[in-house]
Amino acid sequence: MDVCTSLRACAATGRPSHVSHVHRHGDHEEVCDIELQPVEDARGDLPEAEYEQDGIVTAAGMERLRVFLTEVPAATGKAWDGSLPLAPARLAELVALLHRGRISGEAAKRVDPERLEWIDVGGGRAESGEAEFGRRLAELHDTDAPCFGRTDGRTTGSLALPNDPSDSWVEFYAERRLRPLARLAGDRAALAPASIAALERIAARLDALGGPPQPPARLHGDLWAGNRIVDRSGRSWLIDPAAHGGHREFDLAMMRLFGGFGAEAFAAYDDEFPLADGWEQRVPLHQLAPLIVHAIKFGGGYVDTAAAAIRRYR
């Protein structure tokens, strides 16, 4: 059985009193209603000094959090705080982040449920909403990032792709994406040696392939349709970013990789923040990295798709 992939609000407006807990078994869904209750202090009777030290949750505090976020809901059928409707996988991520020191106990306590906005999901795509999304994305990209990559060097995704700051897109895409992916694909036998060798040659030719130089833009970094929520008013909300400074054409290429974004979004983007000539011809170049990631992680048809994308640039 897959982990729960979503929580669906049963109430149309306001804070819900119940949610539907959705488990997926292949193509089959099992839906269970869960009553929501206000969040209590996870620390309970554990002394604060034992729960948290220097702003980081201790091992004892982590165990208390684990029970609070997983065992209590499982035993009582009551989920953690109706104003913070997180799927169990997301709760597990929060616990993992606390455990690794990525989020301090103080930061976790600043997640104020009263200030989180409930997104009333259920709207369909409309031309006006697509155009507004394109304009808003252009505004984001027009806010320059401090570098290609991340100033903190934090890695991206389960493959831990490096994000050390780079001075140029050519350096970033070659040394932080294509070459690390070539090594991973070789180590895991995810791509044929000929494809890996061709990928190395592409990395060496990015100056000629990448179009006019661009300043680093603030990217979402994983902008496929599954990471966009459209509410009942038609407004778009983005989730699960892999944020870093990069080439703005990368987000647009991700939008085209699996579809789900209207032509109005791309047209409005170009009107707001005009793209360089030939950007559509460079879409496959920017799609190389995510396709290879999918080939490494999932295999199957992604292997052939990634190999075909690499062959375009032989």
Integer Cα distance of 134 and 183 in angstroms: 35
19 contacts 9 by C-beta, under 8 angstroms: yes
Give the residue numbers spanning the domain of 51.
6-115
Q: Which residues are catalytic?
A: 222
Pick the closest to residue 4 from 98, 80, 86 (CA basis). Answer: 86
Q: Could you tell me which residues come within 8 angstroms of residue 284 by beta carbon, excluding any fewer than 6 positions away?
A: 253, 309, 312
Q: In what order do the strands lie in the sheet with 18-25?
A: 6-9, 18-25, 28-37, 78-80
pLDDT at 121: 74
Selection from 229, 38, 6, 19 nearest residue 120 by Cα: 229
pTM exceeds 0.75, yes or no:
no
Shortest CA distance to 36 belongs to which of 122, 118, 121, 123?
118
Task: Print pLDDT tens along the chain (314 aa).
Answer: 222 222 222 222 233 333 333 333 344 444 443 333 333 455 566 676 676 665 555 666 666 665 655 555 444 444 443 333 344 444 444 544 444 444 444 444 444 444 445 667 776 777 788 999 999 999 999 988 999 999 999 899 889 999 999 999 999 999 999 999 999 999 999 999 999 999 999 999 999 999 999 999 999 999 999 888 888 888 888 888 899 999 999 999 999 999 999 999 999 999 999 999 999 999 999 999 999 999 999 999 999 999 999 999 97
The enclosing domain of 293 has a CATH number of 3.90.1200.10
Q: How many domains does the chain have?
A: 2
Mark which of 75, 95, 115 sits at the end of a domain: 115
Do 170 and 208 lie in a common domain? Answer: yes
Tell me the pLDDT tens digit for each residue of 57-73. 566 666 666 565 555 54
Residue 122 lies in a domain: no
| C-beta neighbour count of 307 within 10 angstroms | 19
Quick one: 191 and 300 in the same domain? yes
Q: Is residue 278 part of a domain?
A: yes
The verdict on 25 and 86 lying in the same domain is yes
120 within some domain: no
Q: Is residue 51 part of a domain?
A: yes
Same domain, 24 and 93: yes
